[in-house]
Amino acid sequence: MTILRDWLNPPGRPPATPLDPTERRALWIEITIVLLITFGLSGLSSMLSLLEATLAPEPLAEQTVAINTPRATHGAIDLARQLLGVVRLLAWGALGVYLLWRSGHGPATIGLGRPGFRRDVLPGAGLAALIGLPGLVFYLAARAAGVNLTVAPSVLTDVWWRLPVEVLWAIANSGAEEVLVVAYIITRLRQLGWSENGSLLASALLRGSYHLYQGLGGGVGNVIMGLVFGRYWQRTAKLWPLVVAHALIDTVAFIGYQALRGHVSWLP
């Protein structure tokens, strides 16, 4: 119970240096621009996708949404576009790291120092198991309840580059999301005087918003994931375990779906 209370109540932090009105306005402008370029716009688009799916005549569970899809009919062009998508996500993450660095929060400060196996990889694997296995059960339950679409994590054709590209997508997704949605947003909201719980909730709701294209189950499940990941970062100031965990979850989802599709009855 003591451990649970410790995690529910983040440690006290020295109050942030008060910002004058001009600095506060500039920070809000920066946050707005970053979100409109990255996951905030994705969240708005996901809301429209969910609305469109809800208005369709077919029940949500009978509709399918694919995550990794072919981007061209020509193989070489498809590969190039897949890699461009990976680069775009990595650039989003780099933007968050750069903006934080410019304001005095270097990579080591936000938990992206030199990674270690015991310090970062093992906790990341543990977080992946903690989130991934219950997450799969939650998805199947949400789909059975009719509040989630059928999610196809990857429908890339069986070409030689499929597996490495799926792994690259997983790494890019994890890097961009954990840097921007956890480290960047929570740090900036702290600077604006938000409480730890308030900034955590905002981070989790943002994560849930851009997964709403999967249905309400996808949104709620990712809010829960965001609460766990965000609190872990607030308590430990380590971001690498979150990146590792997220990359593992996505890699297993992308590759596992391709391997198991049509071979197990419980996977729609």
Q: Model confidence at 268, in pLDDT bands (50, 70, 90)? A: low
Identity of the amino acid at 146:
G
pLDDT digits (tens, 9 = 90+) for 219-240: 999 999 999 999 999 999 999 9
**Mean pLDDT of the region 135-152:** 93
pLDDT at residue 266 in the model = 61
pLDDT at residue 6 in the model = 64
pTM of the model: 0.93
Mean pLDDT of the chain: 92
Residue 149, classed as helix, strand or coil, is coil
Q: Model confidence at 113, in pLDDT bands (50, 70, 90)? A: very high
CB-CB neighbours of 210 under 10 Å: 23
pLDDT digits (tens, 9 = 90+) for 166-215: 999 999 999 999 999 999 999 999 999 999 999 999 999 999 999 999 99
Locate tokens 């897949």: which residue? Answer: 82
CB-CB neighbours of 85 under 10 Å: 16
The DSSP secondary structure of 174-216, one letter per residue, reads HHHHIIIIIIIHHHHHHHTT--HHHHHHHHHHHHHHTTGGGBH
pLDDT above 70 covers a percentage of the chain that reads 92
Residue 150, classed as helix, strand or coil, is strand
Buried b (16+ CB within 10 A) or exposed e, 134-159: ebbebbeebbeeebbbbbbbbebeee
pLDDT at 2 over 70: no
Residue 268, classed as helix, strand or coil, is coil
**Mean pLDDT of the region 252-265:** 80
pLDDT at 43 over 70: yes
Q: How far apart, in whole angstroms, are the C-alpha atoms of residue 130 and residue 136?
A: 11
Buried b (16+ CB within 10 A) or exposed e, 36-45: eebbbebbee
